[in-house]
A and B are shown apart, each in its own frame.
Chain A
Amino acid sequence: DTAVSQTPKYLVTQMGNDKSIKCEQNLGHDTMYWYKQDSKKFLKIMFSYNNKELIINETVPNRFSPKSPDKAHLNLHINSLELGDSAVYFCASSQRQGAGEQYFGPGTRLTVT
């Protein structure tokens, strides 16, 4: 069974559109994250949720809105997509915040044209 899964794997869309990426973990972890990896391979945290509660919100445009319906799911909705949003988005989970291995999903490659 896949520990952390994301859908879709690839997403190609036009500027101005709204899109969502879904993430699910079956590890029973309390904490989930969204990371953005740009073309330079830098891995930057965007959001962190602990038991459905938002605990980290980095300097991310408010066009990005995370939603955690339960502690096994963390979705990312992006409004009014821009060219600079093109990147690979990774979901991850850990047993608890800041303590222990993070398990990453396979990534979603978002291309905005």
Chain B
Amino acid sequence: GENVEQHPSTLSVQEGDSAVIKCTYSDSASNYFPWYKQELGKRPQLIIDIRSNVGEKKDQRIAVTLNKTAKHFSLHITETQPEDSAVYFCAASGGGGAGKSTFGDGTTLTVKP
């Protein structure tokens, strides 16, 4: 089945700096790669996603890049703000195993004012 590895597990940056979180996946048939943000005590919510026919997608301060050959994708947050502090999860889906979504273990991002 699919295996998703996410790094780093924790990340601390100064406000205004950039943050990068990386994920690798194992199933070359996976074709949908979402990123979810989970604030403390809240539910995970989608912040950006990318499909396998696209190499990069950007939405204001966040962007996702996908390298299908290497089977990895990354979340980039620029000009970080304290409200970006949360747990971020990557996921991969659409491949084998009934197309289920497999989540990474999460990255706890702390943005220091």
Q: Which residues of A contact B (CB under 8 A)?
A: 40-45, 48, 55-56, 90, 97-102, 104-107
Shortest Cβ distance from A106 into chain B, in angstroms?
5
Residue on B nearest A43 in the bound complex, by CB:
B103
B101 near A45 with CB under 8 A, answer yes
Residues of B at the A interface (CB closer than 8 Å) are 32, 34, 36, 38, 42-46, 49, 87, 89, 93-95, 97-103, 105-106, 108
Chain A residues closer than 8 Å to B106, beta-carbon distance: 41-43
Q: Are B43 and A106 in contact (CB under 8 A)?
A: yes
Cβ–Cβ < 8 Å partners of B93 in chain A: 98-99
CA distance A40 to B108 in the complex (A): 11
- A107 pairs with B94, CB closer than 8 A: no
Q: Which B residue sits closest to A94, measured CB to CB?
A: B101
B87–A98 touching, CB < 8 Å: no
Q: Nearest CB to that of B46 among chain A residues?
A: A101
* Shortest CB distance B109–A (Å): 12
In the bound complex, do residue A99 and residue B99 qualify as a contact, i.e. CB atoms below 8 Å apart?
A: yes
Contact check, B44 vs A43: say whether CB atoms are below 8 A apart: yes
Contacts of B49 in A (CB 8 A): 101
Q: Can you name the residue of chain A whose Cβ is closest to the Cβ of B93? A: A98
Chain B residues positioned under 8 Å from A100 (CB to CB): 32
**B10–chain A nearest beta-carbon distance, Å:** 11
Question: Given A41-B106, A45-B100, A56-B100, is A98 in contact with B32 using a C-beta cutoff of 8 Å?
Answer: yes
The residue from A42, A48, A104 contacting B44, defined by CB atoms under 8 A apart: A104
16 A-B contacts (beta carbon < 8 Å): A40-B105, A42-B105, A44-B103, A97-B98, A98-B32, A98-B95, A98-B99, A101-B34, A102-B34, A102-B101, A104-B43, A104-B44, A104-B45, A105-B43, A106-B42, A107-B43
**Distance of A26 Cα from B95 Cα, bound (Å):** 27
Chain A residues positioned under 8 Å from B102 (CB to CB): 45
4 closest Cβ pairs, A-B complex: A98-B99, A104-B43, A98-B93, A101-B46
The answer on a CB contact under 8 Å between B94 and A98 is yes
What is the chain A residue whose CB lies nearest that of B45? Answer: A104
Q: Which residues of A contact B42 (CB under 8 A)?
A: 106
